[in-house]
Amino acid sequence: MRVPAERSSVQQSSILIVDDENELRDNLVTILEHEGFLVRTASSGADGVQQLTGQRFDVVLLDLIMPDMDGIETMQEMRRLSANTRFIITTAYATLSTAVYAIRKGASDYLAKPFRVEELLSVIRRSLEEARFERRLRLGNLDKTMTSLSNATRRRIIEILRQNLAMRLTDISAALTIEDHTKTMFHLRTLKDAGLVRQTQEKLYALTVMGNNAFNVLNALTLEAE
């Protein structure tokens, strides 16, 4: 199938789907190959680990609940083999706590089943962009706290807070056009842990001095990329 010209930028990006649901794997292969990705599949965590030993993948789409090795165990094994691969956890039981746990263990993002095709593609492309951003950070020898800004949503939060000084969670979600406040909370928590955002006594979120410096660095990186 011919890939449209506007999709050529992702044509060489490779994805491994690890899921024990045969029909879901087949459907995802059809969707992702149509979008120009190189796709392989695995029906179990062990099979996925074995495939990663012989081939590099940019993104692994990984089911959380599987027999034998679950998604977290599989991801930890895979990370030992490929430190630069991005992992997206999929689960039918998504909560803030499971999402935070998956991210802390090394996932780039998570998707709640059933997910829309547009949401899937958005998360994959965002993960690929995060990887490119982190490579630029490493090349620039910047502080490790800046890696928290590899995520496009968190970079947008920094920009929004720089423009508005201090905002409530609901207002930040509205500015991001995110309906699920738990996702906004997760990103804010990550930025707080990195020392870039603080919460005032009035429950408003604002940039720290380091956060303002991060905004300036982001501007510099953007200008350099252009």
108 with 52, same domain: the answer is: yes
Average pLDDT over residues 116-120: 93
Q: How confident is the model at residue 218 (pLDDT cuts 50, 70, 90)?
A: confident
Residues 6+ apart with CB under 8 A from 22: 43
Residues 6+ apart with CB under 8 A from 84: 131
H/E stretch holding 216? helix 209-225
Q: What number of CA atoms fall less than 13 Å from residue 45's CA on the CB side?
A: 19
Q: Which domain range does residue 146 map to?
A: 142-225
Q: How confident is the model at residue 11 (pLDDT cuts 50, 70, 90)?
A: very low
Would the CA dihedral through 22, 28, 30, 33 be positive or negative?
A: negative
Q: Where are the alpha helices (DSSP H) in 35-180?
A: 45-54, 71-81, 96-104, 117-139, 152-164, 169-176
**Domain end among 137, 154, 189:** 137
- pLDDT tens column, 142-190: 555 666 787 889 999 999 999 988 999 999 999 999 988 888 998 999 8
127 with 32, same domain: the answer is: yes
Nearest to 110 by CA among 101, 99, 96, 95: 99
Domains in the chain: how many in total?
A: 2
49 with 112, same domain: the answer is: yes
110 with 203, same domain: the answer is: no
Q: Are 60 and 78 in contact (CB under 8 A)?
A: yes
186 with 159, same domain: the answer is: yes
pTM as predicted: 0.63
* Total Cβ atoms within 10 A of residue 20: 16
167 with 128, same domain: the answer is: no
Q: CATH code at 154?
A: 1.10.10.10
Q: CATH code at 30?
A: 3.40.50.2300
